[in-house]
Amino acid sequence: MTKFNSALFVAIAIAAMGALTHPAAAIEYPWCAQYSGRGGGGRNCGFVSFEQCMETVRGMGGFCERNLFYTGPTERPANRVRRHRHNEGKHGQTSSLMRVKQTRLAHP
């Protein structure tokens, strides 16, 4: 019975580890190096800047280009605060409703 219990424990432990692990997420970077070579070369899209990519390619041949799959940072930029002008219309013109209100206030 002890061999069975040990085997059962190991099976449950392996199943639990498999259920608790998450697959690694791919990280996209903005620059790719296209290496030249006899077999067609290779491609590496793991560079944060054009300069970093060029330093890697320099001396072994190839070129750098933007990664078409890079979508930018995951954080969205903060929304800009809009300022509304309640008493003026487009291009600083006073609306007809505001003119009526101003006239009524000026001449009671």
Q: From CA 48, how far away is CA 28, in angstroms rounded?
A: 9
Digit-coded pLDDT (tens) for 50-93: 999 999 998 888 999 999 999 887 665 666 776 666 555 555 55
Mean pLDDT of 12-35: 78
Beta strands (DSSP E) in the chain are: 31-35, 43-47, 62-66
Q: What is the mean pLDDT of the chain?
A: 76
pTM of the model: 0.45
Q: Is the pLDDT of residue 42 over 60?
A: yes
pLDDT at 4: 74
Cα 67–Cα 72–Cα 75 angle in degrees, nearest 5: 160
93 Cβ contact list (under 8 Å, min separation 6) = none
pLDDT at 97: 66
